Amino acid sequence: MKRLLSALACTALLLAGCGDDGDGGGDRTSGTVVCIGDSLTAGICCIGSPWPSRLAAMSGRSVVNLGVGGATSVDGVARVSAALARDPGVVCVLYGSNDPGHGIPLDRTLSSIRSIVRACKDRDVPVVVATPPPTMEPHANRNDRIREIGAGIRAMGKEMGFQVVDLYAAVDADREKYLNPEDGLHLSDAGGDLFAKKFDSKL
């Protein structure tokens, strides 16, 4: 029952699209790292602090968290302008986990990621894009599409020349360790550390 209530609470938050947009954090120096993404970035239903906060501690850099719960890659196209307004030294991108649940076709997801990367490149801002991680039940039916999204992002990274963080492979090594067992979608405490370390290695 506790697991069910927790999952329902997380689902309600995602549908509401709530999350800390980070408007009060960070600075406008060239060293600022701006992170955009969904609830995995915002930290909703994740155990412990969001991975961007952990990234700040690991890297010693100013990190702005613009993650929004329930966001899709299509939402990210609109969100990138807010990221670039912070005059970032680098933009970290993590979308795709919600796209299958919203019925967004694979080509639309990948074209949205491409638009985000182009917007950053047009401003000469380095961008790091992560593949969305796998999920566990009751969300495991998303994994085939999530795997395809990851493959598309990796190919795009080679084509367009941006850094890729392969979170799918990293989490797939031990899903039960890195995912919140209450909902099988969000991050455990170990998962938050893993994400921060993987992004930190690309900065």
- On whether the CB atoms of residues 61 and 118 are closer than 8 A, the answer is no
Q: What is the pLDDT of residue 31?
A: 87
* One-character DSSP codes across 4-70: HHHHHHHHHHHHHT-----TTS--SSTT-EEEEESHHHHTTT-SSS-HHHHHHHHH-S-EEE---TT
For 64-86, the pLDDT digits (tens) are 999 999 999 999 999 999 999 99
Compute the distance between CA of residue 25 and CA of residue 64 in angstroms, rounded to an integer: 6
Share of residues in the chain with pLDDT > 90 (%) = 85
Compute the distance between CA of residue 105 and CA of residue 147 in angstroms, rounded to an integer: 13
- Is a pLDDT exceeding 80 seen at residue 7? no
- Is a pLDDT exceeding 60 seen at residue 26? no
- Is a pLDDT exceeding 60 seen at residue 173? yes
The pLDDT confidence band at residue 10, using thresholds 50, 70 and 90, is: low
- Is a pLDDT exceeding 80 seen at residue 203? yes
- Tell me the mean pLDDT in the region 10-31: 40
**Going from the N-terminus, what domains does the chain have, and what CATH number goes with each?**
2-200 (3.40.50.1110)
Q: Which of 19-28, 55-64, 78-87, 139-148 has the lowest mean pLDDT?
A: 19-28
Q: What is the SS3 assignment for 128?
A: strand
Q: For the chain, give me the number of helices (H) and strands (E)?
A: 9, 5
